[in-house]
Amino acid sequence: MIDKPTLQANFAALEARLVAACAKANRPRAAVSLIAVSKLHPPELIRFAWELGHRDFGENYAQELRDKHAGLADCAGLRWHAIGPVQPKNAKYVAKAATVFHALERLDVAQELSKRRVGTPLQCLIEVNVGAEESKAGLPPSDVASFVTAVRALPQLELVGLTAMPPQYEDPELARPHFKLLRELAAEHGLAQLSMGTTSDFAVAIEEGATMVRVGTALFGHRPP
């Protein structure tokens, strides 16, 4: 695990890159939220980041989210983003712990989240498989319209946007058409939030309208095996 001074330096370096990317895209820095992807990293490292002032953290696994939510309950203002697909049986953990769910792709999961959510509605983003990759989750673009209608009918869920993980390219410019497709789909359905872009390609994603970028390795280092 990296130490707190190293983490602070990593946040500062990443912030400089985010500021530059927003300036190039003629967008205010405040238009883009940084989701620090903390999956498989220890709670102590998340606490370091929280002490440095960061508040938004992304977790892939529902049970890990459950445990970290409980273990870091004293960190006021911490917002959990569930960024990985979830099975219906584990939806209760996301419904309890998360502020935002970035990977909605199944109606049975949406129904379970709606049933389990208490208090403020869970903000949800539909995951779209923009690259038609068999190895990745998400709906095909052609199925988004009907799914939007179904999710909007459920109580305790607030549909706010779309998310996607395009194919990984050595040249991030090659991801641009995928980001553009997601932006156009979101506009078609009146959805304001776009969760797209990672360490390697977030600058292009910001140019194409990303409102949330998900960065892990550049902050926390490589995940433990």
More confident residue, 221 or 144: 144
Q: How far apart are the first and last CA of the chain?
A: 12
Helix extents (H) in 25-143: 43-51, 62-71, 91-97, 107-116
Neighbouring CB atoms inside 10 A of 207's CB total 19
Checking if the pLDDT of 7 tops 90, the result is yes
pTM confidence score: 0.96
The pair of structure tokens assigned to 118 is: 């208490």
Per-chain mean pLDDT for the chain: 96
Cα gap 135→95, rounded to integer Å: 26
| Distance between CA atoms of residues 169 and 8, nearest Å | 29
Angle at 206 between CA 55 and CA 190, to 5 degrees: 85
pLDDT at 224 over 90: no
Is 1.10.10.10 the CATH classification of the domain at 4-219? no
Q: Which has the higher per-residue pLDDT, 68 or 170?
A: 68
Is it the case that residue 37 has pLDDT exceeding 90? yes
Give Cα separations from 137 to 127, 148, 166 (angstroms).
Answer: 7, 17, 11
pLDDT by residue (tens digit) across 69-115?
A: 999 999 999 999 999 999 999 999 999 999 999 999 999 999 999 99
Rounded Cα distance, 45 and 4, in Å:
8
The full set of domain ranges for the chain reads: 4-219
Q: Which residues pair with 101 in a beta bridge?
A: 82, 124
